[in-house]
Amino acid sequence: MDILNPFECSEEKAWCPGCGNHALLEGIKRALFELEKEPHEVLIASGIGQAAKLPHYINTNGFNGLHGRAVPPAAGAKIANSDLTVIIHTGDGDSYGEGGNHLIHNIRRNLDLTHFVHDNQIYGLTKGQASPTTGKGHITGIQTEGVQLEPFNPIALGISLDCSFVARTFVGDQEHMVETMKSAIRHSGYALVDILQPCVVFNKVNTFKWYKDRVYHLERDHDVSDKVEAFRRAQEFGERIPIGIFYVNEKPTYMESVEYISEREPLVRKKLDPKSAVPLMDEFY
């Protein structure tokens, strides 16, 4: 990476040695640098969890909120300042568990947001209980007889909701991850990217080798506009795991669809005039 990358940050990382988040952090810094973004043009929002620490380790605007609640403030920031590149970083537990409702309905709104989910198939911050994406039968310190539930499929969910950009990548394939990140950031609309990143301490099943032995690139001629085929490929997760852009559906964003917002200047550009509130206050005096 270029040593002059303006997104570099000297803050000490609290992640374990070997954690997939290290490679993911380097990937997002490189993607933003190659897209020629400036730190003040970017906001990274997160909730709670290991993934949520990322805004602390990159030189951009940052928001670190409640568990599962990264998407609403990111949406508000984008509506208030459409010039911002707004990127959400959350874990699989944070977005597919606690924040599932926010994920579903903001995909439906199609706000121009990029959402990177650090999917390690476990709750790493709270020491290894099953997350929504943990495989059935996976034994953890809490699920001592193995997980009983079927795993959540984020790719299939995104496609079924007609999310405008749905992709998966892997931290062990840096070039693929950076290119996927750049495509997602450039996309206009809600871009959901599931990023496979092993937890080296609490997930002894889905290791780097486990993924390396299974991931493969979607074919170059994969038709990203074919929703049925994209959904069929989304079902593939086991001995073979496809990575790449599954589905793209170009459609108006929320801000383009809502006349009140599209025809007015963003809130951040409006001049504040406290005196304009006087008539409203007079009603109470």
The radius of gyration computed from the CA coordinates of the chain, to the nearest angstrom, equals 20
Indicate whether this model's pTM tops 0.85: yes
Per the CB < 8 A criterion, the answer to whether 122 and 148 are in contact is: no
What class is the 20-283 domain? Answer: alpha beta
pLDDT in tens, 227-278: 999 999 999 999 999 999 999 999 999 999 998 888 888 888 888 888 888 8
Domain layout of the chain by residue ranges:
20-283
Nearest to 170, CA basis, from 105, 118, 100: 118
pLDDT in tens, 112-170: 999 999 999 999 888 899 999 999 999 999 999 999 999 999 999 999 999 999 999 99
**Bridge partners of 90?**
117
Reply yes or no on whether the pLDDT at 1 is more than 60.
no
pLDDT of the residue at 274: 82
